Structure 1
């Protein structure tokens, strides 16, 4: 065998391997991209599904929180209404505009509403609100029973304490309010 024949044979072999290698490289590159795109598409779909589920869960949490806060505000408004009504009755009785039998009727109404409000509060309010409410209600009952005198200053102090605890709980403002009037 001559060197020229060997050289042609080696050149043909290298050329055929090079062309086949290029074809194999091109096919493997194409197949790799195809698999990568399919895997990426699958992962993207999984992430989108997870994101959608998380959004739904957050919406549920948001709605529940808003409903809970709204319930608290409604209950706290009920307390203010109940206290305002009995204080109005105390003022009317003290000035002689409310007769004793009407005052008794108003107290019975107050007593029923106070018990209802206590149950509502027990479901939603923190202990600090419960304590302030207990102090105010106990004092109002003592006034109604005649064991303590009706002093507006003391009632106002207990009512403002309750309002401050309510304000803290619903997050309106953590700083306390105070009475700055003259009475």
Structure 2
């Protein structure tokens, strides 16, 4: 038994100094390899991240262009509709004002009965106004227009 302990002690003693050197070198070599692998992974990750950023920027620019285009179309359409409404309402008012003036004069008694030509013109103008308003006016306006002629 003593012989086994002696051999074990001799082996451990001879490997002790070399073991420390081997452990030290392997630790240093492991750190070098780990650093190199980590740098390679970091570089790969940065490359992938930059490619993703570029891809997202392209998509973002494309979507921004599409949204800007859609907004411009909406704005032009809305402006055109607004101008159309103004033109139609202006045309309707230009026709309504003379009719209302004649009706007002009849109501306050400063004018006699309408002639048959004026009644025909009133009916033509009423239908023209109704057509103008039917293009864009809300239902409440159309009901007011019907009540104007049902009086």
TM-score normalised by the shorter chain: which range applies?
0.7 to 0.9
Cα deviation per residue 1:65-120 (whole Å; 9 max; x = unaligned)? 2222222222221221112233455659x658xxx7xx443443342232132123
| Equivalent runs, 1:1-183 vs 2, <5 Å | 1-88=14-101, 91=105, 95=111, 103-139=115-151
Deviation at 1:18, TM superposition (A): 0.9
Q: What is the distance in 2 between the residues matched to 1:89 and 1:105?
A: 13
Deviation at 1:124, TM superposition (A): 1.3
Deviation at 1:126, TM superposition (A): 0.9
Rg (Cα) greater in structure: 2
Q: Is the 8 A contact 1:82 1:110 kept in 2?
A: no
Cα deviation per residue 1:123-153 (whole Å; 9 max; x = unaligned)? 21111111112222334xxxxxxxxxxxxxx
Structure 2, gaps ≥5 residues long: 1-13
Q: TM-score, normalised by structure 1?
A: 0.62
Q: What is the distance in 1 between the residues matched to 2:28 and 2:66?
A: 57
Query: Over aligned residue pairs, what C-alpha RMSD do you find?
Result: 2.6
Q: Select the structure with the greater relative contact order (CA < 8 A; seq sep ≥ 6).
A: 2
Q: TM-score, normalised by structure 2?
A: 0.73
Larger relative helix fraction = 2
Number of positions where the alignment pairs a residue of Structure 1 with one of Structure 2: 134
Of 76-85 and 109-118, more deviation after overlay is shown by 109-118
